[in-house]
Structure 1
Amino acid sequence: MNSTFKKTALLAATLFAGSQLMAQSTDTTTYTKDYVQPFSDGSAFRNWSIGLNGGMLSPWTPFRGKQDFVTPNEQWGYGGYIKYQILPALGFQADFLKGHLQGTTPQQPSNLVRYRTDIKYAVDLSANITLANINWRHNQGLIQPYLTVGGGSIAYAPKLSTNDGRRVQYNSDGRNINQFYIPVGAGLKIGLSRGINLDLGYQVNFMDGDNIDGYTYGGRNDQFSYAHAGLEFALGKSSKPQLANHNPVSSMRTEYLSKTNALSNELAQQRMMNEQLRNDLNTTNANLARLTTDTDGDGVFDLNDKCPNTPTGVKVDGSGCPLPTPVTKVYVTEEDKRVVREAIQNLEFDFGKATIKERSLSSLDRVADILTSKNFSLKLAGHTDNVGSAEGNLKLSKERAESVKQYLVSKGANPSRIEATGYGKTQPIASNATEAGRQKNRRVEFTLY
C-alpha cells in the first residue's frame, strides 16, 4: 500500500507541476502557423485523435484505500481511445482497457489468501474536459491539464486462491461477470509536436458491484485505479492545429490586434500622404516666390542668380556673379621672410599646453601686420616630439597651430587665408634621443605665400 500511495502522490505532484508549466510557458507559435480566425467551423481544426497508453492497475484508490483485500498488488494494464473534440475545452472519447487486478490478505479471517481478476475488457464513453488552455497569450497550449468522467461496461473473471493452494473461480461455470462502471480521471497532456501529445493520467473506476475481487465484504461497491502514460496522435492534415490545444481567446486577441495594427498603419500612411501634399504645396509656393525675389538686391532674380548673397554695391554680371576685379600681385620679400623666421624662433608655449608665452607675441604681431597689409596666405603646421602618446601629441600639435591662428586673427588677419594643421610626432626634424633634438621637434612652422 505504501508503494501505491507514493505513486499516487508522485502523480499528483506531476499534475501540479504541469499546471505551473502551463502558466509559465511562452508562446512560440506564429500568426500563420497556429492562428485560426475566430468563430471558424470545425473544418479549420483537427478534431479526431487516437491514443495508446500503458500503466499500473491497482485495487487501491485514494477514496477507499484498503478494500476487501488489505494488500493491493499492482499489475500492468494497457488501453487506448479514440476521441472527437467538439470544443477547445470539451471532447468525447471511447476508451478501452485490459489487464489484471490482484490483492492478498482478506479483511476478515478466511481460508482465502489471494485473488487475481482478469479484466477481459472495459469499454466506456467519457467526456474529456480540457483545463487551462484559455489564456490571453497562447494560440496553442503547451501543456493541457484535463478531467474525464463517463460510464461503460466491464467484463472480468476473478479467481481466488485458498490456504491449501487451490484456485477457485468465482463463477463455477467460468462465465465472465459484466457490470456497469463509472471512470473518473485527471491528467495532463504535453505537446511534443503539432500532432503528438504525451498523455499522463490517473483514473479511478467506480464499480456497480462488490465482486470484482470475487469477495464481498462491508456492503460497499469495489473500486480500482489505473495510472498510465501514453501518446495521443491527432488525425487529419498536419497544417491544421488541434482543436483541443486551440485557444479561441488568443485568436480573438490576435484578430483584434491585427485589425488595430492595420488601422494604425492606414492612418499613418494617410498622415504621410497629407504631409507630402503639404510639402509639395510649400515647395510650389516657394518656387513661385523665387520668380520675383531678389534676396541680395543685385538686380538679378534668385531664380537666375548663380551667385546669391552678393555683398551690397558689388557689380555683377547677368548671372548675378561679381565681375572680376583687377588683381594686384604681391610678392613675398626677403624682409617678409625674415619676420616669419624671427616669429618661428621666438615662438614658445607653456609646457604641455597650447598657451603662447607672452614674450612670443611681439614677433607674431609683426607677422599679423604683413598678413593684413599685403593680404598674404599663411599655413601653420604644428609638430611635437615623441614624448607621450601619438593621439595626445597629434591633438596638442593641432591645438598649438590653432592657437597661433586665433591670435593672428585677433590682430586683424583674414581667417580664410590661414590654414592650421597638426602633425603630432610624425615629422621630426631632429633626433628625439636628445633634449636638444626634442626641443627642435616641438615647433610650429610658418609657410607664407
Structure 2
Amino acid sequence: MKSILKQAAFSLTGVLLGSCAFAQSVTDPNYVKPFSGDAAFNTWSIGVNVGMLSTYTPLQNNSRQDFMSPQVALGYGLYIKKQILPSFGIQADYLGGKIEANNSAMRPAPFNNSAYNSVSTSLNYAVSLSGNYTLANINWHYKTTGIQPYFTAGGGFMGYKPVLTPSDGTAKVNFKNTDGGKISEFYVPIGVGFKLNVSKAVNIDLGYQVSFVNSDNLDGYNYSNNNDRFSYAHIGLEFALGSRSKPQLATHNPVNSMRDEYMMDEARLQMAIDAQKAQNDQLRNDLNAAKNEMNASLAKFTADSDGDGVPDFLDKCPGTPAGTKVDGAGCPLPAPVIQKPDVKVYVTEADRKIVKEAIRNLEFDFAKSTIRAHSFPSLNRVADLLKEKNFSLKLAGHTDNVGSNDANMKLSKERAESVKNYLVSQGANASRIEATGYGETQPIASNKTAKGRQQNRRVEFTLF
C-alpha cells in the first residue's frame, strides 16, 4: 500500500513539473497574461521623422490655390507619445522645415497678371497635441503584430515666415512687415498612416498629414479667400521607452496572449490526463499483483487445522480438542468461577455492645495519636467482629477546642487513622474502614468545662 501511495505522489509531482515546464516553454517575449494592467507594458515612446512639406493637398485642386505650382521641400519632426489604451494615445508633435510654391494665381481685373513667381515659407515651429487612434492591429502571424494603421487629429500653434519673389524681378519681400516678418497662428493637423513593427522596441512610421491653418497667410498671397493648408508626408522611427522585456501597449496583440493562455491550459490538461492515465495503469498493475499475492497467501491465512475458529498462524495452542471453547490465541478458556451468593449479615445488639465497649476503653497519649495499651483488648474484639461478619466501619475523630483549629483537625484525623491502622494490623479489611477527622467542629458537650472537653475528645465508631 505504501508503494502505491508513493507512486501516486511521484506521478502527481511529474504532472506539476511538466505543467511548469510547458508554461515556460510555450510563452514567448510578446506574451502578457490576459487582463494585465498597464504595468505589464511600455506605454511611452518617442519618434523622429523626415519627409516632404508641400502646399498640395488632395482636398483642393491646384488651380484653386494661391500658388498653382506646389513644390516639395524638406520637413522634419519628432514627437513623444503616451499610450492610454491599446487603441488610443496622446501625442505631442514638433514639425519644422520649409514650404514652397511657384506661379501665383491670376488676380482679377484690373491686374490680370501673376503678382509673384514664388513663395518660400520658413516653418520655424509647429507644435501640437493630438489623439492617436490605432485603427487595427493587423496580424501577419499569430504571435506578432505586423502593421498598425492609425489616424491622428489635434490642434496646436505654428510660427512661420513667408518670403515672396515678385514676378517683376524686384527683390524678395516679407509678407509681414512687422516682427521681422514672423507670424504665429493656430492650426489643426489631421493625419493617417501605418507603422511597421520591426521589433518589440522599434517601429517604422509611414504617414501623411494635412494641416489646416487658421488664416490665409501661410503662402503670403490671398487669391481665393480660403484658409491655407499644407501637407507633410514622412517616414520615421518610433522607439518604445521602458523595459525591453515588456511589449508596447499600442502593438500588443491580446488575442495572441489569450491564444497562448488557451494553449497552455489545453496542454496542461492533456498532460494531466496522460499522467492520470499512466498512474491508473500503474495502480491497476499494482492491484493485480497485490491480488495475486493475496490469493497465494489466502490458504495460509485461513487454515485452521484443529477447527477451533483461530487460524493456524495465530493459534498458540494447536491441536485443541473439538468443541473446546478457546480465546483469541486458540487456547482453552479457564473453567468459569461459580460465585457464591452473598449472605446478608445484620448488626446485632451484641455487635453494638462490642463497639461501645471499645469506644469507652479507647484512650490516647496526651495530645498524641498513640493508643494506650489497655485499649487493645476491646479493639481486638472489634477487629474479630469485622473479620467474622465482613462489616464496614466508619471512624470519626473529634477534639475539644483547646489549641488551634488546624492542629485539632490534624490530631483528630491522625487518631482516627491510628485506630484504623491497628484494626488492619489485626486482620480487618482496610477497604471496609473509613477514617475521617473533624477536629473541634462537632462537639457533643460544652468546651467550657473539663468534663465537656473530655467528652468532646473522642473517636466515634459507626458499624454497618
Taking structure 1 as the reference length, the TM-score comes to 0.56
Distance 1:137 1:272 in 2: 36
In the other structure, the counterpart of 1:92 is 90
User: Which sits farther off after the overlay, 241-250 or 91-100?
Assistant: 241-250
In the other structure, the counterpart of 1:216 is 222
Report SS of the residue matched to 2:270. Answer: helix
Match of 1:131, as an amino acid? L
> C-alpha deviations, 1:23-60, integer Å up to 9, x for none?
xxxxxx96241111112111111111111111110100
2:118 is aligned, of 105, 114, 118, to: 114
Match of 1:60, as an amino acid? Y
Distance 2:248 2:257 in 1: 14
Matches within 5 A, 1:310-321: none
Q: CA deviation at 1:263?
A: 2.6
In the other structure, the counterpart of 2:130 is 126
Report SS of the residue matched to 1:237. Answer: coil
In the other structure, the counterpart of 2:241 is 235
In the other structure, the counterpart of 1:167 is 172
Aligned length: 265
Report SS of the residue matched to 1:252. Answer: helix
* 2:73 pairs with 1:69: no
* 2:183 pairs with 1:177: yes
1:33 is aligned, of 29, 35, 55, to: 29
> C-alpha deviations, 1:239-276, integer Å up to 9, x for none?
11111110122212322332232233223322322222
* 2:211 pairs with 1:205: yes
Report SS of the residue matched to 1:34. Answer: coil
In the other structure, the counterpart of 2:253 is 247
Distance 1:140 1:68 in 2: 47
Distance 1:94 1:184 in 2: 13
In the other structure, the counterpart of 2:49 is 53
Which blocks of at least 5 consecutive residues in structure 2 are unaligned? 1-24, 107-112, 300-464
Structure with max Cα Rg: 2
Distance 2:295 2:141 in 1: 58
Distance 2:215 2:124 in 1: 17
Distance 1:196 1:40 in 2: 22
Report SS of the residue matched to 1:33. Answer: coil
Distance 2:124 2:294 in 1: 99
Describe the shift of the 1:292–1:41 C-alpha distance in structure 2 as closer, same or farther (beyond 3 A): closer
Q: CA deviation at 1:134?
A: 6.3
Q: CA deviation at 1:285?
A: 2.3
Q: CA deviation at 1:138?
A: 3.5
Query: 1:134·1:248 contact (CA, 8 Å) conserved in 2?
Result: no
Distance 2:264 2:35 in 1: 16
Distance 1:38 1:135 in 2: 18
In the other structure, the counterpart of 2:77 is 79
Distance 1:30 1:194 in 2: 18
Describe the shift of the 1:212–1:132 C-alpha distance in structure 2 as closer, same or farther (beyond 3 A): same
Query: 1:135·1:250 contact (CA, 8 Å) conserved in 2?
Result: no
In the other structure, the counterpart of 1:146 is 150
**Once the two structures are aligned, what percentage of the paired residues are identical?**
48
Query: 2:138·2:146 contact (CA, 8 Å) conserved in 1?
Result: no
In the other structure, the counterpart of 1:365 is none
Query: 1:130·1:147 contact (CA, 8 Å) conserved in 2?
Result: yes
Q: CA deviation at 1:63?
A: 1.0
Match of 2:33, as an amino acid? Q
In the other structure, the counterpart of 1:226 is 232
Match of 1:216, as an amino acid? N
Distance 2:27 2:60 in 1: 49
Alpha carbon RMSD of aligned pairs, Å? Answer: 2.2
Distance 1:137 1:168 in 2: 57
1:42 is aligned, of 38, 43, 51, to: 38
Describe the shift of the 1:103–1:49 C-alpha distance in structure 2 as closer, same or farther (beyond 3 A): same
Query: 1:195·1:242 contact (CA, 8 Å) conserved in 2?
Result: yes
Distance 1:276 1:135 in 2: 46
In the other structure, the counterpart of 1:356 is none
Query: 1:134·1:247 contact (CA, 8 Å) conserved in 2?
Result: no
User: Which sits farther off after the overlay, 226-235 or 182-191?
Assistant: 182-191
Distance 1:193 1:134 in 2: 15
Match of 1:37, as an amino acid? K
Q: CA deviation at 1:139?
A: 4.0
Query: 1:57·1:227 contact (CA, 8 Å) conserved in 2?
Result: yes
In the other structure, the counterpart of 1:284 is 290
Match of 2:135, as an amino acid? L
Distance 1:195 1:286 in 2: 66
In the other structure, the counterpart of 2:267 is 261
Which blocks of at least 5 consecutive residues in structure 1 are unaligned? 1-28, 294-449
> C-alpha deviations, 1:171-197, integer Å up to 9, x for none?
111242122211111122122322111
Distance 2:140 2:293 in 1: 56
Describe the shift of the 1:274–1:136 C-alpha distance in structure 2 as closer, same or farther (beyond 3 A): farther
Q: CA deviation at 1:135?
A: 5.8
1:188 is aligned, of 177, 183, 194, to: 194
Q: CA deviation at 1:230?
A: 1.1
In the other structure, the counterpart of 1:23 is none
Match of 2:223, as an amino acid? Y
Match of 1:167, as an amino acid? K
Query: 2:204·2:238 contact (CA, 8 Å) conserved in 1?
Result: yes
Taking structure 2 as the reference length, the TM-score comes to 0.54
Q: CA deviation at 1:207?
A: 1.5
> C-alpha deviations, 1:316-349, integer Å up to 9, x for none?
xxxxxxxxxxxxxxxxxxxxxxxxxxxxxxxxxx
